[in-house]
Structure 1
Amino acid sequence: MIFANQALIATGWAKNVRLSCAEGRISEISTDQSPKDGDTRVDVLLPALANLHSHSFQRAMAGMTEYRKAGKDSFWTWRDLMYRFTKHLTPEQIEAIASLVFMEMQEAGYASVGEFHYIHHQPDGTPYDDIGELSGRIAAAAADTGIGLTHLPVLYTYGGAGKAPLEAGQARFGNSVDRFNELTARARGIVGALSQDCQVGIAPHSLRATSPDDMAAVLQAHQRGPIHIHIAEQPKEVADISDWLGARPVEWLLANAEVNANWCLIHATHMTGAETRNMAQSGAVAGLCPITEANLGDGPFNGPDYLAHGGAFGVGSDSNILISLTEELRTLEYSQRLRDIARNIMVVGDGSVGETLYCGAAKGGAQALNRGTGQIVQGALADLVAIDSSDPALCALQLHQLLDGICFAGRDRVVTDVWSAGRHAVQGGRHIKRDQIIANYRSAMQSLMSTL
């Protein structure tokens, strides 16, 4: 049992809440209760967010690409450095990095992750003896940390728009449709051995890294589960796809695929007004990664129009240069303020921006990862986070201001406990396996840096 002084349940704020879990789900919620012996006591209980977009291996190169060279640095120069980095990673290092990333996500308040996984093979592109070797490493990291995993094997067939051949740095990513289907089937077997809330979706990497025929074949072969895709992240990508397919990326995708609530469109940064409205009305989730989008100079998402047309959204940490739930949410809002030279943008009509950000991301992230959660309600997965409202950043606020405080004044230190489908991995602000995970990561980095 969990006893919370306050909790944001589906009907609103409630006091003195006792909550029980069974088989990973919320089985009972009672309000106006008293704590009992054996209860796990917390201050404020909230639905925990999903981190809907992660490339965990990129955490290990954080800080390595912030040196300006002659000419204009861009997403594309960053990508070249990333390719050179990936050729050195071993399976053991990939697992150690993923464990650290998932632990940091949980300590920041995330209960689940969508791992957009595209390192599949050996450095020269040869598959491992077990084609699912590296998916198995991601699954092992999820098992070690207890995070809820939606594993998203990536179809990456071409090096650029127009079926350009893969570059040497992309060799570890590449698959034909048939080999991708084999890989995904193996991943389903691996992840199927984890907790019941863990699952496998698919991820055509982007329009530039696949083709219309290949994507159609993959969608036909995988008709259940989440579908994630990078879309319209950079102006060059928009131009390249427009030149090749005769339409802008979001425009083309909406016209040529059955985009619905199973889809998550990552970034969707560069859209026209019509694309924004049509994407919002499709039922898909916009997968926003504000810290990474700022770090890579992608540009801001068109938030106000998207929300005005009922669009769903969630947040992810993408490159994992900084894993922070609070910073992700406020960077999203601040990107809108900087563009519009205004305040309180990400809300429709009157209301709390923090509530719109937090609750919107909770529901949208749960949808994107196909997790039956996003609210504290009976029957939902027990993805929960506890917050300390006595923290100096929050202690002066009234209850109705708390989500604003978390989003704009709080740091991740306000998180005291996290449950992923009832698994209580963060206690007292620390992951229960923190010391061993960090030791494993440091050992892996020492080995990796000796090869760079």
Structure 2
Amino acid sequence: MESALFAKHALLPTGWANHVRLCFSEEGNLGTIKTGTKAKPGDHLADIVVPGMANLHCHAFQRAMAGLAERAGPDKDSFWTWRETMYQIAARLDPDALRAIAAMTYVDMLESGFTSVGEFHYLHHGPDGRPYDNPAEMATQVIHAARQTGMGQTLLPVFYAHGGFGGAALSPRQKRFGHDLDGFMALMQAIHKQHPGTKLGIAPHSLRAVSPEQLNALGTAFPQGPVHIHIAEQFREVEESYVHLGEPPVRWLLDHMEVDARWCLVHATHMREDEIRDLAKSGAVAGLCPITEANLGDGFFPAREYAGKNGRFGIGSDSCVRIDLAEELRLLDYGQRLQCQTRTPLAPPNTSSGRALFECALKGGAQALGQNTGALSVGKRADLVTLDGAHPALVARHGDAWLDGWIYAANTSPIVDVYVGGHKQVENGRHKGRAALQAAFGQTLKRILP
């Protein structure tokens, strides 16, 4: 572990500071932070330092199908047709394959500037739906992948009970995702026992897959920790929610559950004005995944209206079709520009778009994962990203223009090093374990893909 890092410039909670020395504690947190000082012998040196970002929504196994669902079918393609390809890939994954795929996914995230991930994990059982002897067999693989790569992780085991609204039965291809309440409790107990240091939340999959009674039971059984749920991603889901619940999904959830700062509503793409207002008021985080949402044709999240009500949000890679921190933020902003036909719709007056987006995503992501991250301040985990001040998109710029250059103008990544808990995981833009993990990933895909 490097005991200290000296940066010419660092983004602190108070703004940009110069000649900053950040000391790391034995626990991997930020100890003292001094500005206007000098480097000491042995310090690691950096041009520009910013906090590491939380990736609040990830299905790591889906990285195996990146680019494999882009062929047009005979009818109109949508999320629902994409899901068929996902089911085919999921059916081929064993524990070893899941671990190799998750590790490569986390390597790509770390190199992109993500230092923690919310793993929305629903690949629980064998391909035929029969449970493994160890209920936590598949969860163990993604936990080990995070530890192997040095990625901070909040594991979000998914409760998935039904194949649709109204208590529809799981389809044969969904059975490896499914639990009843007793089975899910056994899974959570097994994870607690086998991996006591793991940060845990829960993830009721969606209002399609969890009945109101089950959702209430989960709330009673798990009164603390993060709660993540897919919601209002597709118009079809909204329409079916009206039929079965009498309200659109976000409205129903806000009216029937104690939605607060523990919650992360993933996507929340299709909301009425009252839902936007009350979601922002709740203190929950909207989990936005712009690259995946664009890839699936989900629609545009009402970010301008939501931000105008001080709503909280973070970003995630979701299907991991492409992993790029800067592109997630850029696409979120550009989508709003195209809709509003105006520039800088998400930046307050006289502020940088890049800075506004970056800091909102930092805060929302850390909150959603329950991680002690999101800022370079004393006591926070020492998750940080160093940037190359001589990069063509950053050179001759200052302050917020460094973030704008990275997010909007960089054709290649300006990231130099990435630290998680004070440990350097990425050096000179490359993860220290990339060669071996990429080889394992390649061998795994050759084995599982047709």
TM, length-normalised to structure 2: 0.97
Deviation at residue 410 of structure 1 after TM alignment: 2.4
Residue 49 (structure 1) aligned with residue 53 (structure 2): yes
SS of alignment partner, residue 172 of structure 1: helix
C-alpha separation between the residues in 2 aligned to 1:398 and 1:257? 45
Task: Provide the residue aligned with 1:332 in structure 2.
Answer: 332
Over 4 Å off, 4+ runs: none
Alignment of 1:29-68 (within 5 A): 29-68=33-72
Task: Provide the residue aligned with 1:200 in structure 2.
Answer: 200
Checking the alignment, whether the CA contact within 8 Å between 2:355 and 2:400 is kept in structure 1 is no
Higher mean C-alpha displacement, 394-403 vs 157-166: 394-403
SS of alignment partner, residue 176 of structure 2: coil
Deviation readout 1:267-297 (Å, 9 max, x if unpaired): 0000011100100010000000000000000
C-alpha separation between the residues in 1 aligned to 2:339 and 2:229? 26
Task: Provide the residue aligned with 1:15 in structure 2.
Answer: 18
Deviation at residue 326 of structure 1 after TM alignment: 0.7
Task: Provide the residue aligned with 2:410 in structure 1.
Answer: 410
C-alpha separation between the residues in 1 aligned to 2:391 and 2:344? 24
Task: Provide the residue aligned with 1:348 in structure 2.
Answer: 348
Deviation at residue 337 of structure 1 after TM alignment: 1.1
Identity level (%) = 47
Task: Provide the residue aligned with 1:252 in structure 2.
Answer: 252
Q: Which runs of 5+ in 1 are unaligned?
A: none
Checking the alignment, whether the CA contact within 8 Å between 1:304 and 1:345 is kept in structure 2 is yes
Task: Provide the residue aligned with 1:125 in structure 2.
Answer: 129
Checking the alignment, whether the CA contact within 8 Å between 2:406 and 2:413 is kept in structure 1 is no
C-alpha separation between the residues in 1 aligned to 2:196 and 2:415? 30
C-alpha separation between the residues in 1 aligned to 2:411 and 2:155? 28
C-alpha separation between the residues in 1 aligned to 2:88 and 2:400? 48
TM, length-normalised to structure 1: 0.97
Name the amino acid aligned to 2:438.
Answer: I
Deviation readout 1:421-443 (Å, 9 max, x if unpaired): 22211111111111111011111
SS of alignment partner, residue 162 of structure 1: helix
Checking the alignment, whether the CA contact within 8 Å between 2:21 and 2:34 is kept in structure 1 is yes
Residue 85 (structure 1) aligned with residue 89 (structure 2): yes
Name the amino acid aligned to 2:35.
Answer: T
Task: Provide the residue aligned with 1:169 in structure 2.
Answer: 173
Residue 421 (structure 1) aligned with residue 421 (structure 2): yes
Deviation at residue 298 of structure 1 after TM alignment: 0.3
Deviation at residue 412 of structure 1 after TM alignment: 5.8
SS of alignment partner, residue 151 of structure 1: strand
Deviation readout 1:192-215 (Å, 9 max, x if unpaired): 24xxxx401000000001100011
Q: Which runs of 5+ in 2 are unaligned?
A: none
Name the amino acid aligned to 2:45.
Answer: R
C-alpha separation between the residues in 2 aligned to 1:432 and 1:163? 47
SS of alignment partner, residue 112 of structure 1: strand
Residue 3 (structure 1) aligned with residue 6 (structure 2): yes
Alignment of 1:244-393 (within 5 A): 244-393=244-393
Name the amino acid aligned to 2:217.
Answer: A
C-alpha separation between the residues in 1 aligned to 2:166 and 2:260? 26
Name the amino acid aligned to 1:358.
Answer: F
C-alpha separation between the residues in 1 aligned to 2:279 and 2:15? 29
Checking the alignment, whether the CA contact within 8 Å between 1:232 and 1:271 is kept in structure 2 is yes
1:447/1:240 CA distance change after superposition, 3 Å: same
- RMSD over aligned Cα, in angstroms? 1.0
Checking the alignment, whether the CA contact within 8 Å between 1:188 and 1:199 is kept in structure 2 is no
Checking the alignment, whether the CA contact within 8 Å between 1:44 and 1:386 is kept in structure 2 is yes
C-alpha separation between the residues in 2 aligned to 1:263 and 1:13? 31
Higher mean C-alpha displacement, 343-352 vs 25-34: 343-352
SS of alignment partner, residue 166 of structure 2: coil
Task: Provide the residue aligned with 1:113 in structure 2.
Answer: 117
